[in-house]
A and B are shown apart, each in its own frame.
Chain A
């Protein structure tokens, strides 16, 4: 593992521990009240969910057209993180919606496209696990569709009729809310970098194991 890993992990852990205090001190939103504070973890995890889908898509494209195993390992790691952060988004969102909208789920375009992106990431992992020989390239093709879904998820709230908050919420946030949000965004981005590196390292070790088994057979 690189030298920066442990210090960065310590900083990230401290930041995560501090984040609830900043979030608790942020003002209540006028119409939604207390439950709106779910936003401070929901939005950063949503951004990381979309970011990891993009990383997975780009690495898969480079693997498909360049054939680099390193890119394949990166794509595999990012796909798992897409599932992880997607699960956080798809659980915290309905918990917020139950109070704010009166329903757990609404089949509107933002929620549905997010669910689709999450299912594509699951499909990637299932193809990799059970697809047999050649499944790496098949999964890489799936990842391209997962990446193509990302801009659709992001702009959907601005172009279609939906009750999900628009993207204009973030630039118009008051300072007290903005500080808590951007701190949480930094926490989630650092965590994403750390988990991605750790997960890639696991794939590197597995590749090393395969090489050792091959040399043992010879």
Chain B
């Protein structure tokens, strides 16, 4: 009896493994070749996407602002040094 149960379990496991092995591989999403507009945003899509969208736009604004500030500061420093050197040269002359 025990042997029979073991055999049944074994055959069940093998058939289950075979079925699993025959499952088609999960296909990656298809490539998008056009954007189709809709009038209303699906309700389930609103909340999860919003933080990503806000983060993306905030990142762009912050990075651009930081770059402008960085270039301005570098430029101010160089211009001050140019003025200092020009006055030094003028004094020597």
Contact = CB atoms under 8 A, between A and B. Distances in A.
Given A41-B56, A101-B29, A33 B49 contact: yes
Interface stretch (A61-69, A126-134, A143-151, A201-209): A201-209
Question: What is the predominant secondary structure among interface residues of chain B facing chain A?
Answer: helix
Contacts, number: 136
Nearest to A166: B33
B52 interface: yes
A91 B40 CA distance: 27
B20 interface: no
A26 to B, nearest CB: 8
Interface residues of B, number: 42
Contacts of A102: 29
Contact of B37 (A98, A166, A174): A174
Nearest to A175: B37
Interface string A185-209: 0000001000100110110011011
B33 A168 contact: yes
A35 B50 CA distance: 7
Contact of B34 (A36, A168, A209, A216): A168
B31 interface: yes
Interface of B: 28-42, 45-46, 48-50, 52-53, 55-57, 59-60, 63-64, 67-68, 71, 74-75, 78-79, 81-82, 85-86, 88-89
